[in-house]
Amino acid sequence: MSVLNGKKILLGISGGIAAYKTASLVRLFIKAGAHVQVIMTPASKDFITPLTLSTLSKNPVYSSFYNQDDENEKWNNHVELALWADLMIIAPATANTVSKMANGTCDNLLIAAYLSAKCPVYFAPAMDLDMYKHPSTLANFTFLKQFGNTIIPAESGELASGLSGEGRMAEPEHIVAFITDDLNSKLPLKGKKILITAGPTYEAIDPVRFIGNHSSGKMGFDIASSAANLGASVILISGPTNCTVSNPLIHVIPVVSAEEMYLACHQFYADVDAVVAAAAVADYRPKHVAQQKIKKAATNFVIELEKTKDILASLGLLKKNQFLIGFALETENEIENAKLKIQKKNLDLIVLNSLQDEGAGFGKATNKVTFIDKFFHIESMELKSKEAVAADILNKIMMHFGMQR
């Protein structure tokens, strides 16, 4: 999954011949899963039509402060456009537009939106080689970088003047790759490895029957997706579930039984920075597993059970620098039981669920949790989607590592 997936991109287009390439640029952003809103300078419409860009972006294209052809003239709010965006990209950024950006010359809608932007801004210069290397242009580049803007370096090649050299706007594919690489390098959990367990375990009775539970795995999978979207490399050890992931940073290890999950956790534990044990692991398993399907015969049937290995407690014993998070699903004395679990299993944080809370528990899209840390600080959260709860859990991990989203 691209880091651009779901991002709201405000694409500013100024009046240079390279504007014709922005049709491809819009398509690449859309293909990466981004939402694109285009602002054009009046001059840029001589090189590519607003209709083309509106069709590709599936949004209206703005180029003036109000809709001049509308009988009921409507102001195009540059502040709303700027605040809507997660990213602003100005491509092509002509020498004229770069100068206006650097000096705050606000004479068109694009510059007004730029001056109102609170999001990261990228600009891709496009001009002739002498203009690109002129001291005034270089000074403007320096100003913009000091403002926190990021330059996408121009490329060398044949220019509109007929000369050949540096000044061509980077190709659309290169612009997308540059922004993607830059965003990935700045993700807060870049370089961190997180182990996550999810789903139920099935403990075999015979070849066709098992002891299990109602866990869907959704909570663990949402935590994995949230961690990967923040740049972490994720090892997701999952019991049987219908949940899926698409992010290449998530390595899924399918298991069935508690014993298989125990072995998988211990295989990877030494190399991870954090563990989120969200799986609903069976506490007991049949002591003897029948090799053939058990036939219905006697009125009463007894299965002798034995305890499974306590995965979380075993990880707590081996803990060195790992940040260890467990889950607790309780039906009574929730807080006290969760505190005991923190102590017995050497946890840093526990995520407490109560079946007493409406909207929480197995098989639901929502969850209501209480965070309790190893110092017994308690933080009760409201009912949220499991995606939002996953984000809260990742915030706890980032706080532990001194990072911010």
State how far the alpha carbon of 355 is from the alpha carbons of 157, 329, 334, 393, in Å: 65, 7, 10, 19
Taking a C-beta distance cutoff of 8 angstroms, is the pair 26, 38 a contact?
yes
Angle at 185 between CA 180 and CA 190, to 5 degrees: 120
Q: Is 283 annotated as a binding residue?
A: yes
Query: Which uninterrupted H or E stretch holds 237?
Result: strand 233-238
Structure confidence by residue, pLDDT tens digits, 37-77: 999 999 999 999 999 999 999 999 998 876 665 555 666 77
Confidence of residue 159 (pLDDT cuts 50, 70, 90): confident
327 is in an annotated binding site: yes
Taking residue 27's Cβ as centre, other Cβ atoms within 10 Å add up to 14
Give the model confidence (pLDDT) of 77-124 as tens digits.
Answer: 788 899 999 999 999 999 999 999 999 999 999 999 999 999 999 999
CA distances for 18 relative to 24, 45, 47, 128, 207, angstroms: 11, 12, 8, 11, 65
The helix/strand/coil state of 261 is: helix
> What CA–CA distances, in Å, run from 76 to 40, 79, 113, 242, 365?
12, 9, 10, 46, 38
Domain limits, the chain:
8-185, 193-400
Q: Which CATH superfamily is domain 8-185 in?
A: Flavin prenyltransferase-like (3.40.50.1950)
Active-site residue, 76 included: no
Four-way CATH pick for 193-400: 3.40.50.10300, 3.20.20.70, 3.90.1580.10, 3.30.9.10: 3.40.50.10300
Q: What is residue 145's predicted lDDT score, i.e. its pLDDT?
A: 97
Judge whether 8-185 and 193-400 match in fold: yes
pLDDT of residue 31: 96
Burial label for 359, CB within 10 Å (0-12, 13-18, 19+), is exposed
- Kindly tell me if the per-residue pLDDT of 277 is higher than 70: yes
Listed in order, strand segments (DSSP E) in 314-348 are 323-330
DSSP characters over 44-90: GGGTS-HHHHHHHHTS--B-SSB-TT-SS--B--HHHHHHH-SEEEE
Is 8 annotated as belonging to a binding site? no
- Arithmetic mean of pLDDT, 234-239: 98
- Please compute the mean of the pLDDT values over residues 27-36 and round it to a whole number: 96
pLDDT tens digits along 176-191: 999 999 998 899 999 9
**DSSP class of 280:** B
For residue range 337-387, what is the model confidence (pLDDT) as tens digits?
Answer: 999 999 999 999 999 986 666 655 565 778 889 999 999 999 999 999 999
The catalytically annotated residue of 76, 77, 96, 213 is 213
Query: What is the per-residue pLDDT for 73?
Result: 60
Which two three-digit tokens encode residue 232?
């972490």
Q: Render pLDDT for 302-346 as a digit per residue (tens, 0 to 9).
A: 899 999 999 999 999 999 999 999 998 877 788 999 999 999 999
Residue 85, both tokens = 């965006």
- Over 90: is that where the pLDDT of 154 sits? yes
* Contacts of 111 by beta carbon, 8 Å cutoff, 6+ apart: 97, 100, 101, 104, 105
In 3D, which of 340, 300, 331, 327 has the Cα closest to residue 393?
Answer: 327
Q: What is the pLDDT of residue 275?
A: 98
Compute the mean pLDDT over every residue in the chain, rounded to the nearest whole number. 91
Are the C-beta atoms of residues 198 and 54 closer than 8 Å to each other? no
Q: CA–CA separation, 310 vs 341, rounded Å?
A: 12
Q: What is the pTM of this model?
A: 0.79
Q: Give the whole-number percent of the chain exceeding pLDDT 90.
A: 78
